[in-house]
């Protein structure tokens, strides 16, 4: 089986289809996008040094993964792409087990992505490689333009940015290589997108506030007609939109910081898991021949294990009792906005408690303050453990490398 020849044939097959069936609406899912996905797959595959058979699976899957947009319905483009790939591989007389692997890789790209093997993970990460690149904004514009052309309806900027932000926050890279390479830029893209969305929503709120003020001015005479309404005027004013925006922005920032901490912890876990696996699987087998490397190997292994422990501690969730009493509601002691305080209560009990809380604006805003405070406390502990994990990894790595150098130079193995 000549891998290079078959991959070139797949490239020619797909390029020919795009030439024979031009689709002006596909400004994103076109041949250029497919070529970018193949290039990304080539970069990832080079890191993992795949064998020829595995390279064939990855490349063919990437060439065919979006061909269904051109040759079938958009909703089922993965199924159509897998079908076209099987037909092509049948002509090339490729074994059935390889065809199944190609099909699995293409179907794994169906959102939400669910890869099970390394080859499927590589194809999935190559497909959404642009989420961690600086030109994410330009590619997002092309995708929005394609959806507007396809549906025939204009998509508001705020709605599109909201869906793009949701995609970025829900998505995660599967291979350790992409996590280490792209996660930082992806988080920067999320921050920019969130900032842009907040500005758009702020302008919308400003327009609504102006309309509300105008409505209040027009009805001012009617509001001053009775003594009862005069008494209502004397009551302490409720917090305005500015305060509500402050609460929303602060909560969003806390959640974003928590997500960033989890991502950084996942990177440390992935990297050190690979290091520990290599040490246990390869290096320890050779220690009998190289006894001078025992201490450096143990130092390196201890660094990886302790780093993983602190990274896991940083992401390990804590859940409260999950119950409250009527007395807690009456005394305003329980925060109903945090799931840990009510997850064991029935829907009827929680509904009653929420209605009681909504009757008292002081209770509502007090709960929001508690929620932000406790989020901050959790974030403080999470980042402290994460910092410890990074420090252990950094200093442990330095000490381990120095130990290896000393062992090799000053305590060589005597033949």
Listed by start position, the domains of the chain span 3-194, 229-410
The length of the chain, given as a count of residues: 415
Q: What is the pLDDT of residue 239?
A: 55
Question: Of residues 320 and 163, which shows the higher confidence score?
Answer: 163
Asked which of 142-156, 157-171, 206-220 is least confident by mean pLDDT, the reply is 206-220
**Distance (Å, whole) CA 226 – CA 10:** 81
Q: Which residues contact 355 (CB under 8 A, 6 or more apart)?
A: none
Q: Which residues contact 337 (CB under 8 A, 6 or more apart)?
A: 367, 368, 370, 371
CA angle, corner 244, sides to 240 and 250, nearest 5?
A: 145
**Distance (Å, whole) CA 96 – CA 343:** 49
Q: Which residue has the tokens 């950094």?
A: 394
Q: Which residues contact 371 (CB under 8 A, 6 or more apart)?
A: 251, 335, 337, 338
Candidates 262, 271, 261; CA nearest to 307 is: 271
DSSP codes of every residue in 266-291 = HHHHHHHHHHHHHIIIIIHHHTTT-G
pLDDT tier, 205 (very low <50, low <70, confident <90, very high otherwise) = low
pLDDT tier, 120 (very low <50, low <70, confident <90, very high otherwise) = very high
Average pLDDT over residues 376-399: 89
- Alpha helix (H) ranges present in 65-175? 68-71, 77-91, 96-108, 118-127, 136-151, 157-170
Q: What is the pLDDT of residue 388?
A: 92
Residue 292 half-sphere exposure toward CB, CA atoms < 13 A: 13
Is pLDDT of 305 > 50? yes
pLDDT tier, 135 (very low <50, low <70, confident <90, very high otherwise) = confident
Asked which of 4-13, 32-41, 214-223, 292-301 is least confident by mean pLDDT, the reply is 214-223
Question: Of residues 392 and 318, which shows the higher confidence score?
Answer: 392
Helix H or strand E encompassing 374? helix 361-410
The pTM of the full predicted model, rounded to 2 decimals, is: 0.51
| Residues 346/304, Cβ–Cβ less than 8 Å | no
pLDDT digits (tens, 9 = 90+) for 349-387: 888 888 888 888 788 888 788 878 888 888 888 889 889
DSSP codes of every residue in 171-191 = ----SHHHHHHHHHHHHHHHH
Q: What is the pLDDT of residue 4?
A: 84
Q: Which residues contact 226 (CB under 8 A, 6 or more apart)?
A: none
Q: Which residues contact 94 (CB under 8 A, 6 or more apart)?
A: 1, 6, 56
Question: Of residues 25 and 335, which shows the higher confidence score?
Answer: 25
**Distance (Å, whole) CA 338 – CA 319:** 10
Is pLDDT of 230 > 70? no
**Distance (Å, whole) CA 247 – CA 133:** 31
Q: What is the pLDDT of residue 392?
A: 92
**Which of 177-186, 275-284, 406-415 is predicted most confidently?**
177-186
**Distance (Å, whole) CA 401 – CA 297:** 10
Q: What is the pLDDT of residue 332?
A: 78
- Secondary structure class of 124 (helix, strand, coil): helix
Average pLDDT over residues 66-82: 86
Distance between first and last Cα of the chain? 45
| Residues 78/110, Cβ–Cβ less than 8 Å | yes
Proportion of the chain above pLDDT 70, given as a percent: 88
Is pLDDT of 283 > 80? no
Is pLDDT of 188 > 50? yes
Q: What is the pLDDT of residue 240?
A: 56
Proportion of the chain above pLDDT 90, given as a percent: 28
When computed from its CA atoms, the radius of gyration of the chain, rounded to whole angstroms, is 29
Q: In this structure, what token pair is assigned to residue 37?
A: 């996905």
The CATH class that applies to domain 3-194 reads mainly alpha
Q: What is the pLDDT of residue 232?
A: 47
**Distance (Å, whole) CA 34 – CA 126:** 10
CA angle, corner 157, sides to 135 and 136, nearest 5?
A: 10
Q: What are phi and psi of 66, to 5 degrees?
A: -115, 10
Asked which of 22-26, 150-154, 228-232, 301-305 is least confident by mean pLDDT, the reply is 228-232
Q: What is the pLDDT of residue 348?
A: 86
| Residues 59/37, Cβ–Cβ less than 8 Å | no
Other C-beta atoms lying within 10 Å of the C-beta of residue 127: 25
Q: What is the pLDDT of residue 233?
A: 45
């Amino acid at each position: 089986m000549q891998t290079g020849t078959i991959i070139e044939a797949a490239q020619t097959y797909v390029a020919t289809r795009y030439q024979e069936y031009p689709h002006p609406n596909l400004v994103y899912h076109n041949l250029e996008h497919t070529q970018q996905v193949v290039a990304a797959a080539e970069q990832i595959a080079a890191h993992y040094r795949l064998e020829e058979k595995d390279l064939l699976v990855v490349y063919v899957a990437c060439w065919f993964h979006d061909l269904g947009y051109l040759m079938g319905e958009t909703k089922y483009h993965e199924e159509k792409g897998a079908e076209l790939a099987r037909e092509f591989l049948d002509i090339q007389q490729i074994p059935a087990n390889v065809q199944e692997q190609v099909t699995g890789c293409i179907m794994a790209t169906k959102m939400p992505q669910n890869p099970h093997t390394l080859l499927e993970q590589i194809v999935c990460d190559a497909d959404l490689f642009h989420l961690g690149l600086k030109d994410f904004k330009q590619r997002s514009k092309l995708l929005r333009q394609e959806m507007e052309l396809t549906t025939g309806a204009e998509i508001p900027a705020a709605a599109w940015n909201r869906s793009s932000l949701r995609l970025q926050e829900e998505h995660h890279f599967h291979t350790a290589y992409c996590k280490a390479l792209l996660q930082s830029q992806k988080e920067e893209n999320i921050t920019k997108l969130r900032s842009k969305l907040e500005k758009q929503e702020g302008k919308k709120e400003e327009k609504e506030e102006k309309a509300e003020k105008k409505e209040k001015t027009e009805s001012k005479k009617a509001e001053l007609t009775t003594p009862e309404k005069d008494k209502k005027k004397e009551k302490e004013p409720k917090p305005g939109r500015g305060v509500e925006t402050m609460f929303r922005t602060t909560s969003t920032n806390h959640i974003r910081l928590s997500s960033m901490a989890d991502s950084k912890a996942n990177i440390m876990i992935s990297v050190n898991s690979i290091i520990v696996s290599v040490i246990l699987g390869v290096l320890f087998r050779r220690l009998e021949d190289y006894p001078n490397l025992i201490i450096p190997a143990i130092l390196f292994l201890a660094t990886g294990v302790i780093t993983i422990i602190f990274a896991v501690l940083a992401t390990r969730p804590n859940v409260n009792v999950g119950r409250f009493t009527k007395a807690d509601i009456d005394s305003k002691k329980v925060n109903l906005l945090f799931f840990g305080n009510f997850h064991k209560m029935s829907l009827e009990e929680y509904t009653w408690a929420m209605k009681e809380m909504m009757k008292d604006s002081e209770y509502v805003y007090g709960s929001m303050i508690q929620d932000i405070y406790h989020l901050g406390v959790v974030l403080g502990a999470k980042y402290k453990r994460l910092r410890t994990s990074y420090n252990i990894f950094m200093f442990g790595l330095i000490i381990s490398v120095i130990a290896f150098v000393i062992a090799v130079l000053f305590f060589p193995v005597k033949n």
